[in-house]
Every structure is written in structure tokens, then in C-alpha cells.
Amino acid sequence: MRTYRLRTTALATATVTAGLALALTACGGSDSAGGPTANPAAAKSADQQVPPGTATPSGETAAAPSAGKATGTGTATAVPAKAGSGTKGTGDTTGDSYAYTHPCSARNLTVKATSPTGTPATVRIITVTNNGSTSCGLDYFPTVGFSAKGTALGVQATPPGGLGGAPAYPVRPGATAYAAVNLDPTGANGPVADEINILADQEHMPNADGVSLKLAKPGSVTHPKVGLYRTNTHDALTAF
């Protein structure tokens, strides 16, 4: 996997450079959501329409996961090792400084993909919520791929180039990071995807921590793009 930035402050875990194998299965319904579980795994749910800026859709139920890929219906769950412990010198584990040296653990994250009201038809909003009690750091953007009828399309969303500076996007306890994905920014009508695969932080998580979520509205995928993590839907839509 190509590295998109030169990090000035290394996170506590090793960088994962292997490419994300994004496998997806066919299904109707809405874009899916993921939530935390006791052990690393993933499960899916039907997507819902939500107003821009809404952190999470409602009415979701959990489903049993399989290794590295969400299965069934319900809430998709991302699940890795627990975020590291430690303090910032003053004992503050909930600030941004702590997040820069403590990568997020999938076990403490809820990953979702929605189609908020008012967004372009080709756009999905990915949300990553920190359910842990301490701050943690994510990469600048999620890694996103697509599948059709259970077969990976071999297409990965491209993030913005020229990234540098801070080593991570900090997420405080209870906070949510938002990233927009445009499946077909060119309108070229490519292969139709019915599932999206998301790894919240490829720099610090193994591929097995990725979740595969059903797209409620299958869409054409051509030269897809993913934006940077932001604090709300509005800002995410401008972060490509």
C-alpha cells in the first residue's frame, strides 16, 4: 500500500503497509453500520437515510460476525485490540496529545456507512465513533474498496495527495470522525458495487479489522475518491 504522508510523530503501533483486500457480498438494503464487540470480528446492517451531520443512524441491531468480514444483517462491528493506556504527563488520557501516541483499536470503534439526506447520489458518509474511555488516533482517512455479488471489484478509493504533518486524526471518547466517499465522481457508469469494505486505519490496523457493509443503494464505481476525516458531514464533503 502506498504511503501518503511523512509522519513526524510515530504512533505506538507498527504501520501496516499491506494492501486491503476488499471483499464484499451482494445485498439490498441500505448502507451498513458497524459496532464494537468483545472480540475482533464484524457484522452488517441495513443502511438508513439520516440528516447531514447525524453521528449514527437509529434502529440498528447487532449480528454475529465472521473473521475480518461482516456477515448477516444488523450492525457491522469493527473489533481489534484495545487502545493503549498511559497518560500525557498530567494524567489526561482524553486529549488530542494522548491520541497522537495511541492508535485507535477496532474493538472500541463503531464503523458505519450512510447516505445522508441532501448528499449526492454517488456519495456515502463513513462514520467512525470512539466508544472507548480514552482518546485515540486514526490515520488521515479510511481505506475503502468495493465488491459486487461477493467478488471484489479490485477498485480502491483514492485519498487526497500531499498529506503531511500530524501523525493522526484524534478522536476523543464518544466523538465521531466523518469521511465522505464518492463512488463515481466522473459519472462514467462503471461496474455496480453492492457492498463497501472499510478499514478505519490501515496504518495501524490489520486487514482483518476491516468491515464489509451492504450498500442499500448499489452504485456505479469509477475512479472512486475518499476524503479526509472531519468532525461533521458538511466538512467531510469538502475534504476530498
Residue where the block lists cell 463515481: 184
pLDDT at 156: 96
Q: What is the DSSP pairing of strand 163-165 with strand 5-7?
A: parallel
Residue linked to cell 463512488: 183
Cβ–Cβ < 8 Å for 211, 42: yes
Beta strands in the chain, from DSSP E residues, in sequence order: 5-7, 109-114, 123-130, 136-138, 143-148, 151-156, 163-165, 169-171, 176-182, 192-199, 211-220, 225-226
pLDDT band with cut points at 50, 70 and 90 for residue 168: confident
Which is more confidently placed, 41 or 133? 133
Whole-number mean pLDDT of the chain?
73
Q: What is the average per-residue pLDDT within 97-117?
A: 95
* Predicted pLDDT of residue 189: 84
The model's pLDDT over 6-36, given as tens digits with 9 standing for 90+, comes to 333 333 333 333 343 333 333 333 465 665 5
pLDDT over 70 (residue 51): no
How does residue 41 score in pLDDT terms, banded at 50, 70 and 90? Answer: very low
- Report residue 214's pLDDT band, with 50, 70 and 90 as the boundaries: very high
pLDDT grade for 135, boundaries at 50, 70 and 90: very high
For the residues 101-108, what does the mean pLDDT come to? 96
The stretch 113-118 carries a mean pLDDT of 93
pLDDT digits (tens, 9 = 90+) for 219-231: 999 999 999 999 9
- Residue percentage of the chain with pLDDT more than 70: 61
Distances (CA, A) of 127 to 31, 215, 216: 12, 15, 16
Q: Is the pLDDT of residue 4 over 50?
A: no
What is the model's pLDDT at position 22?
35
Kindly give, in sequence order, each residue whose CB lies less than 8 Å from that of residue 43, ignoring residues fewer than 6 positions away.
34, 35, 37, 62, 63, 64, 65, 70, 71, 72, 74, 75, 76, 77
Of 27-41, 48-62, 93-107, the range with the highest mean pLDDT is 93-107
Please name which of 103, 125, 147 lies closest in space to residue 53, comparing C-alpha atoms. Answer: 125
Find out whether 157 and 144 touch, Cβ atoms under 8 Å: yes
